[in-house]
Chains A and B, each alone.
Chain A
Amino acid sequence: MNISLRNKILRLFLGLMILSSIASISSVLIATNKSVERQAQEKLEIGKRVFEQLMQNRAQQLFDSAEVLTADFGFKGAVAQGDQATILSVLENYSARIDADLMMLASLEGVLIARTDTLKQTAQNFPFIHLLERAEAQGGLMTVAMLDGKAYQLVILQVAAPRPVAWAVMGFLLDQPLANQLKSLTSLEVSYTGIGGAQKSFVISTMPEESYVGILNEKMNINDQNSLTNHSHLKRMQFGEDEYLSLYASLVETSKYKVNALLSTSLSEARANFSRLKIQILVVSVISLIASVIGAFFISRNVTRPINSLVSAAQRISGGDYSVDLPLSKNTKDEISILASSFNLMQKGISQREAQILHQAYHDTLTGLPNRMLATQEIMRLIKACRESEECFVLMSMNINRFKQINDTFGYQTGDGLLKAFSERLGAVNKGQNFCARLGADEFLLLIKGSDQLDFPPMIEHSVQCLSESYFINDFEVTISLRAGVAIFPLHGDQTGQLLRRTEIALNDAKQKKRDLQFYEEGSDAIHLNRIRLINDLKQAIKSNHLVMYYQPKVDLKVRRVTQAEALIRWFHKELGFISPEEFIGLAEQAGLMPALTRWVLKTVIEELSSWLKDGFDIVMAVNLSAYDLAHDDLPEYIDGLLAQNKVPATHLILEVTESAVIEEPEQAMNVLHRFKKSGIKLAIDDYGTGYSSLGQLKSMPVDELKIDKSFVLKLDQDKDDQVIVRSTIEMGHNIGMTVVAEGVETKAAWDLLEEYGCDKLQGYYISKPQAASDFLLWYSSYQVDD
């Protein structure tokens, strides 16, 4: 169950108030009930004392009278002499004097002598004979006794004349007037009950007769019958419709009869006095309950209102809105306001951190420039804006040339410093009006907006110029050169991705064409896409042997026959047909496919060579290696393994490398070449004359053969310069102990000239074009050098 905080507070308050109301009401009720009982008890106690006093007074009166009577000389004389008439008259006289209800005279032996309350004077037993023994023992007796269904308060005294001669008895009736008198004094209900076997039982009470009907049947368990003070004598009784608290006293109890006194006060009546108080308390409780409900309502509202605002604030924050601060009460420092200010702090912190994260997501951490993601968004935005305003912008991708070398030379710190400085300058270019971004390690993007495309070239030029000026980083002067690819919206594209790609293509083109600045050229995109497709196809071709090796013979002029063949790779594309090795090897180099391609070539060629050698074709095979191949340390081991595996002697393999392949990483390349040499493999310099290698370098290389580039040979018979270069090169090669091979021999005249110059081996279409293995072998079997 989902209960709101407010309801919870309301319920709690309400529950507590109801509980406390019940507690207070019930405690008041209990207290009043107790008070009623206590007051009743006190009333009974007081009444009891009055009752006792009254009874005592009567006893005293009786006693005094009896004493006077028994001391009366005349009475004594009459008793001593048995003067019946006198005795009776004296008794009556005294009886009248104190208004006694009973007077008797009995002999010491318990024979009735005289009696005032009845006319029967003789032949009667003395009714209190059972008391005489005690009276004699005590010298007299004061008691309560029952006679003929009535109870009397009695005094029994001896008549001495001077010796004891008789017992005188005087008594007061415990009657209704007495009870009434007691009631008027004590304001208690007073009852006397007498119960006797042979004697008639009786009840005298100040209560209405119908109320005390059952009183005789009440059990009265009284331990201390002489005292009313013990509270255990208290008993609740129902008289009529009222409840009473009663105090019992046993006045007398003998084997024959039992007389009790009963003082009662009405509890119902006493409670009635309190009922108004109860109603008042009830009313007060109800009012306070209602007040507390209203109070709880307001308190809960006061508590929950700020919480609700916190809740909505939290929901707003989770929705990403950090802009609205919670209102803070200025003076109060309660938990809610502390929470609210914490909320505000949290909101601020979250928005700051989010901004930071966002910044990091869209910015480069090193330079603080926007990254590619933000650049993309910006271009997207700009395209939209420019479409509406019919403006245009230029997108320029830039590379710092040889940044890796700068890093290596000056250290990473300086490299990073350069990037930062470059970024700052990039941002400041064109008065900071441009958008710029860092796309990669040393690749940056500059976006210049303008109204006319024709404005761009000078702006670009200016920018490049600015950026190319020297940087001073950590006391170093760093000079850089830039290479930039440019695409213009909407001239070169109107899509974000397209524009970005085209600047990259332009940049690539710049690299390939070794230019500083390259605008995107129409169609480059297609070429680019084609290259990507070809790279993919090449991968497949290597895997599935769609590549073929062709072989072109070399003729040894000394022995006048074919001794060598150069293995040349050919790719016949399913759709595009023949693709030149220059084209796809460049792709392979860019796509990092060279190691796999080289290995495939070597494996294929050496296996082919192995079969040739087996078949008796004594041919030395030349294979081309690229600069990438030379950068690999493990290639010598791989080739050694292949040779051993196919049982091909190392002397039957020539590896041809270009000058430029060695120049890129000379140390590494030389190391690899020496290892080949060690294995017994011959090495040749390919395309000699096109590179810039010095003779010194040439000399230091462990090379056996020099292949003159075909550009010098193709028109040898017509070009005098070529003849000079070729002849001197042949001489120079011979002088440093190399055999010299001429490529591109296509005519008889070239052949003759080369033979004249002393060239060792010839290769070219005049002899044979490159052929597949089977064609080559057929050709080889029938070929004869013309004389």
Chain B
Amino acid sequence: MNSLYWSRLFIRIFILLGASLSLPIWAYDFQVVDQNGEAVKNAVVSIPEGTIDLITAEPAVMDQVQRQFVPFVLAVEKGREVVFPNSDNIRHHVYSFSKPKNFQIKLYKGVPKQPLRFDQEGVVVLGCNIHDSMIGYIFVSPWPNFQVTSENGQVSFKANSKELAVWHPWMLGQDKPQNFLVSDLEKSNFKIQLQLTPPKPIKKLKSKFKKYYGN
């Protein structure tokens, strides 16, 4: 109730400002949902404008914990270094055949000596050559302003961009973010709805041996 009130107040203010400056600054809270209206985590929401300055930040971390990439989706600016520590007590062989960064870190434990620099925008799909179930994603963003949704699917931005770019690993087309008009989102109550296709859980065909000649 309260937030709604404030939201409406802001909208009026921005409309007034927009009318005077043509690019009014807005500050909104958005929520990413799927086709069923459920909150979507691990979605990368970007303001698709601006340039990246010199990167001074420390390398980002794509950890491997209990045979999972953590985080599942890591968003980094183009040119950012990423380090792939191994928190498991087993070895991993992290690789990617993705175009933005085709690499492999052969069987290792602990933190690799050199972080890898991701200097081409795009989606890098990470896998482990030993553990097929391990899949992780690094979204190399060409834009400086982006956020990854948490459990509640919410992100907050203050900008004057007309659009938002949203990407999630389960989107169809996969590797390209989808753009949403802020004005449309204003109408749809700031809900960013994505069509997601979760990957099917990998089955073991071995249990079907006896049915080798079945239909």
Q: Does B132 contact A (CB under 8 A)?
A: yes
Q: Does B213 contact A (CB under 8 A)?
A: yes
Q: Are B213 and A76 in contact (CB under 8 A)?
A: no
Q: Are A140 and B203 in contact (CB under 8 A)?
A: yes
Q: Which residue of B lies closest to A161 (CB)?
A: B97
Q: Determine the chain A residues whose CB is within 8 A of the CB of B205 once the complex forms.
A: 63, 138-142, 155, 157
Q: Does B198 contact A (CB under 8 A)?
A: no
Given contacts A63-B206, A140-B205, contact A226 B132 (CB under 8 A): no
Q: A252 CA to B204 CA in the complex, in Å? A: 22
Q: Are B211 and A56 in contact (CB under 8 A)?
A: no
Given contacts A63-B205, A139-B203, A157-B205, contact A55 B212 (CB under 8 A): yes
Q: Does A421 contact B (CB under 8 A)?
A: no
Q: Does A89 contact B (CB under 8 A)?
A: no
Q: Are A60 and B215 in contact (CB under 8 A)?
A: no
Q: Which residue of A lies closest to B131 (CB)?
A: A162
Q: Which residue of A lies closest to B204 (CB)?
A: A139
Q: Does A412 contact B (CB under 8 A)?
A: no
Q: Are B97 and A76 in contact (CB under 8 A)?
A: yes
Q: Which residue of B lies closest to A259 (CB)?
A: B213
Q: A137 CA to B212 CA in the complex, in Å? A: 16
Q: Does B113 contact A (CB under 8 A)?
A: no
Q: Are A77 and B209 in contact (CB under 8 A)?
A: no
Q: Determine the chain A residues whose CB is within 8 A of the CB of B26 once the complex forms.
A: none
Q: Which chain B residues numbered 90 to 141 have a C-beta less than 8 Å away from chain A?
A: 95, 97-98, 102, 125-129, 132, 134-135
Q: Which residue of B lies closest to A82 (CB)?
A: B97
Binary flags per residue of B169-194, CB closer than 8 Å to A gives 1, else 0: 00000100000000000000000000
Q: Name A142's contact: one of B126, B128, B203, B209 (CB within 8 Å).
A: B209
Q: Does B8 contact A (CB under 8 A)?
A: no
Q: Determine the chain B residues whose CB is within 8 A of the CB of A254 once the complex forms.
A: 215
Q: Does A73 contact B (CB under 8 A)?
A: yes
Given contacts A71-B132, A153-B212, A153-B213, contact A139 B97 (CB under 8 A): no
Q: Determine the chain A residues whose CB is within 8 A of the CB of B95 once the complex forms.
A: 73, 77
Q: A77 CA to B99 CA in the complex, in Å? A: 11
- Would you call the interface of chain B mostly helix, strand, loop, or mixed? loop
- The distance from the CB of B199 to the nearest CB of chain A, in whole angstroms, is 7
Q: A225 CA to B213 CA in the complex, in Å? A: 10
Q: Does A81 contact B (CB under 8 A)?
A: yes
Q: A226 CA to B213 CA in the complex, in Å? A: 8
Q: Are A163 and B206 in contact (CB under 8 A)?
A: no
Most interface-central of A76, A142, A144, A226 (chain B CB within 10 A) = A142
Binary flags per residue of A50-65, CB closer than 8 Å to B gives 1, else 0: 0000011011100100
Q: Are A59 and B202 in contact (CB under 8 A)?
A: no
Binary flags per residue of A545-567, CB closer than 8 Å to B gives 1, else 0: 00000000000000000000000
Q: Determine the chain A residues whose CB is within 8 A of the CB of B200 once the complex forms.
A: 136-137, 139
Q: Determine the chain B residues whose CB is within 8 A of the CB of A153 once the complex forms.
A: 212-213
Q: Does B214 contact A (CB under 8 A)?
A: yes
Binary flags per residue of A219-235, CB closer than 8 Å to B gives 1, else 0: 00000011000000000
Q: Are A77 and B215 in contact (CB under 8 A)?
A: no
Given contacts A56-B212, A80-B97, contact A162 B132 (CB under 8 A): yes
Q: Determine the chain B residues whose CB is within 8 A of the CB of A141 once the complex forms.
A: 205
Q: Determine the chain B residues whose CB is within 8 A of the CB of A143 once the complex forms.
A: 212-215
Q: Determine the chain B residues whose CB is within 8 A of the CB of A139 once the complex forms.
A: 200, 202-205
Q: Are B102 and A59 in contact (CB under 8 A)?
A: no
Q: Which residue of B lies closest to A253 (CB)?
A: B215
Given contacts A77-B97, A140-B205, contact A252 B215 (CB under 8 A): yes
Q: Does A182 contact B (CB under 8 A)?
A: no
Binary flags per residue of B41-71, CB closer than 8 Å to A gives 1, else 0: 0000000000000000000000000000000
Q: Determine the chain A residues whose CB is within 8 A of the CB of B128 once the complex forms.
A: 162
Q: A71 CA to B102 CA in the complex, in Å? A: 18
Q: Are B213 and A144 in contact (CB under 8 A)?
A: yes
Q: Does A585 contact B (CB under 8 A)?
A: no
Q: Determine the chain B residues whose CB is within 8 A of the CB of A136 once the complex forms.
A: 200
- The distance from the CB of B144 to the nearest CB of chain A, in whole angstroms, is 28
Q: Determine the chain B residues whose CB is within 8 A of the CB of A249 once the complex forms.
A: 213
Q: Which residue of B lies closest to A225 (CB)?
A: B215
Q: A249 CA to B213 CA in the complex, in Å? A: 10
Q: Which residue of A lies closest to B210 (CB)?
A: A56
Q: A739 CA to B213 CA in the complex, in Å? A: 167
Q: Does A251 contact B (CB under 8 A)?
A: yes
Q: Determine the chain B residues whose CB is within 8 A of the CB of A58 once the complex forms.
A: 212
Given contacts A140-B205, A143-B213, contact A81 B135 (CB under 8 A): no
- The distance from the CB of B176 to the nearest CB of chain A, in whole angstroms, is 15
Q: Are A81 and B102 in contact (CB under 8 A)?
A: yes
Q: Does A466 contact B (CB under 8 A)?
A: no
Q: Are A162 and B126 in contact (CB under 8 A)?
A: yes
Q: Are B206 and A226 in contact (CB under 8 A)?
A: no
Q: Which residue of A lies closest to B205 (CB)?
A: A140
* Those 9 A-B pairs whose CB atoms lie nearest each other, nearest first: A162-B127, A139-B203, A80-B97, A59-B212, A140-B205, A251-B213, A142-B212, A144-B213, A162-B135
Which B residues are closer than 8 A to A by beta carbons?
95, 97-98, 102, 125-129, 132, 134-135, 174, 199-200, 202-206, 208-215
Q: 30 A-B pairs, CB-CB below 8 angstroms?
A: A58-B212, A60-B209, A63-B206, A73-B129, A77-B95, A81-B97, A81-B102, A138-B205, A138-B208, A139-B204, A140-B205, A140-B208, A141-B205, A142-B211, A142-B213, A142-B214, A143-B214, A160-B132, A160-B202, A161-B127, A162-B127, A162-B128, A162-B134, A163-B125, A163-B127, A163-B174, A226-B214, A252-B213, A252-B214, A254-B215
Known contacts A77-B95, A161-B127, A162-B126; 17 further A-B pairs (Cβ under 8 A): A55-B213, A63-B206, A73-B129, A81-B97, A139-B205, A142-B205, A142-B211, A153-B213, A160-B127, A161-B125, A162-B127, A162-B135, A163-B199, A164-B199, A225-B215, A226-B214, A252-B213
Which A residues are closer than 8 A to B by beta carbons?
55-56, 58-60, 63, 71, 73, 76-77, 80-81, 136-144, 153, 155, 157, 160-164, 225-226, 249, 251-254
